[in-house]
Structures are given as structure tokens and as C-alpha cells.
């Protein structure tokens, strides 16, 4: 039997760094959805509309 050595590099973040990262990700996601939902471009609006249907979010 072959012995294998595995190592994993874990990224250790403090609680404050995790909160900042989660806040930034949430803000980025919300702003992308907000921009896509109110865009004048029909293609962009329809893509956002289809995404809302795909995640079973009410939109009508």
C-alpha cells in the first residue's frame, strides 16, 4: 500500500475580515441585481428576470 501525504492550505481570516468580506459580497450581489433589474436593455432585463424565475423568487 502506498502512503500519501496530503496537505491543505487553509485561509485563516479573523471574524472582522469575514464580516467585511461577506458584506462586500452581499453589496456586490445586490448592486448587480439592482442594476440588472432596472436596466433599459431588454436582454439584460430578461436575463435578470429569467434568473429570478430560476431561483424561484417572485417577480410579478
Output the pLDDT for position 7: 64
Output the pLDDT for position 9: 59
* Neighbour count for residue 16 (Cβ, 10 Å): 8
User: What is the rounded CA–CA span in Å between residue 53 and residue 60?
Assistant: 10
Output the pLDDT for position 22: 95
Within a 13 Å sphere around the CA of 1, how many CA atoms are in the beta-carbon half?
3
Domain range summary for the chain, segments of one domain joined by +:
31-60
The pLDDT tens digits for 19-41 are: 999 999 999 999 888 877 777 77
Question: What pTM did the predictor assign?
Answer: 0.48
Amino acid at each position: 500500500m502506498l502512503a500519501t501525504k496530503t496537505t491543505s492550505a487553509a485561509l485563516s481570516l479573523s471574524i472582522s475580515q469575514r464580516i467585511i468580506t461577506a458584506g462586500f459580497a452581499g453589496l456586490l450581489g445586490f448592486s448587480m441585481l439592482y442594476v440588472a433589474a432596472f436596466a433599459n436593455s431588454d436582454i439584460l432585463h430578461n436575463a435578470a428576470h429569467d434568473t429570478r424565475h430560476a431561483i424561484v423568487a417572485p417577480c410579478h
